Structure formats: C-alpha cells, structure tokens
C-alpha cells in the first residue's frame, strides 16, 4: 500500500515539476563596487536560472570564471585571490518566491552560496510571468565579509565593502 502511495506521489510530482519549469541560461548579472579610488564593474552573461511556477521555487547558478572585467588583471585577481574560483567554481542561489503581486513585484528569500559560504538573503524585484516565459529583474547588495572574502588593507580604497548586484534574466518554458 505504502509503495503504491509513494509511486503515485512520485508520478504526480514528476508531472507537476516538468510541466511548470522555466529555464534560462543567458541571464545577465552585473556587479558594481564603488570605492574612493576606482569603480569596478563586472558582467556575467551566462547566468543560469530555473523557476518552478507551481512551487514558486527559484534557483540560480553562476560560474565565477564567466565574470568579465574591463581589466584582465582585475579579472585575474577576482578569480585567483578573492573568489578562488578554482576551489569554488560556482555560486548558487536556492530559494522561493515568497511574495508575488499582480504588477510583477516579487520578494525572493533563499540561500545564497558564494565562495563556499552560505547565507540567507532576501531580495526584491520584478517577476513577470508570461505564457511562454518568465522575466526576472532584481537588485540587491552583498557584504564581502559575509562571504569570507578578504580585502587586504592596501587595496581597501580600491574595493568597496558592499557590492551592488543587478540581475536580469528571461526564462523560457522547459520542455522535457
């Protein structure tokens, strides 16, 4: 009996998730660091995300090496010294949309993993659900020390302690 219940549950669950998933792999994340000596901006155009419309689950996955900096030396330092992308190649967000209004205003809560450190975060933005796609836009801030990212004193005026993050992605209905 129990086995039957579980299998039915599993089958229903499978159908449910498959039918409601929206997937995007070409999202854009930009981050800004405003500091007295220089402003740093980097962009990643290969951001992946999945939104499950029935369960309101939302996940993001970002490859750290895909962040492009205007200066290659900055990119090297970002990967080698600060984010250590050889040890922590990806950053992930696993969360839920906890509030969604008709005008598209959305509140997302979940766990963000960067540099091997996981923190609970909340972000506000826009989530528009259309027939065949979902468009997500959000802005939030991160504190570097929350993610165990050390900035040496000598470059403290070059790198901001709080980083502004800008997310923009379109998710298409996932078939199969």
Partner 1 sequence: MKAKSLFFLFLFLSFKVVAQENLLSLLNEKNETEYTSYIFKGTKIVNGQSVEITSKNELKFNIQHRFGPINSGFYNLYGLDYAQVRFSFDYGVNNWMAIGIGRSSVSKTLDGNIKIKLIRQAKGIKNFPLTVVVNSASYLNQYTVEDRKKSSFLFTDQLIYSHQILIARKVNRDFSVQVSPTFIHYNLIDNSSRQSNDNISIGIGCRYKLSNRVSVNAETFPQVYNSMNDNVLSLGFDIETGGHVFQLHLSNSPAMIEPIFITETVSNFFNGNIYFGFNISRVFTIKN
By CB under 8 A, residue 154 contacts partner 1: yes
Q: How far is the CB of 37 from partner 1 (least distance, A)?
A: 9
- Applying CB under 8 A, the span of 53-61, 99-107, 120-128, 133-141 interacting with partner 1 comes to 53-61
By CB under 8 A, residue 44 contacts partner 1: no
By CB under 8 A, residue 42 contacts partner 1: no
Residues of span 16-35 touching partner 1 by CB under 8 A: 17, 21, 23, 25
CA dihedral 105, 18, 121, 156 (to 10 degrees): -100
Q: Can you tell me which of 65, 146, 166, 172 binds partner 1, judged by CB under 8 A?
A: 65
Q: Per the structure block, which two tokens stand in for 141?
A: 């801030």
Q: Are 103 and 145 in contact (CB under 8 A)?
A: no
E-state strands within 35-159: 39-52, 57-63, 90-100, 105-114, 117-129, 133-143
Q: How far is the CB of 14 from partner 1 (least distance, A)?
A: 10
């Amino acid at each position: 009996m129990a086995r039957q219940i579980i299998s039915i549950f599993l089958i229903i669950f499978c159908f449910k998730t498959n039918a409601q998933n929206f997937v995007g792999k070409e999202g854009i994340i930009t981050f800004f660091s405003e500091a007295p000596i220089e402003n740093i901006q980097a962009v990643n155009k290969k951001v992946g995300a999945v939104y499950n419309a029935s369960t309101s689950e939302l996940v993001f996955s970002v490859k750290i090496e895909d962040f492009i900096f205007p200066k290659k030396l900055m990119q090297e330092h970002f990967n080698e010294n600060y984010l250590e992308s050889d040890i922590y190649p990806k950053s992930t967000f696993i969360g839920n949309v906890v509030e969604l209004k008709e005008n598209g205003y959305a509140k997302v809560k979940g766990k963000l993993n960067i540099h091997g450190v996981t923190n609970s975060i909340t972000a506000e933005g826009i989530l528009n659900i259309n027939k065949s796609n979902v468009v997500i836009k959000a802005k939030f801030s991160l504190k570097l020390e929350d993610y165990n990212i050390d900035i040496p004193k000598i470059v403290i005026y070059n790198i901001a302690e709080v980083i502004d993050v800008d997310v923009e992605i379109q998710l298409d209905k996932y078939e199969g």
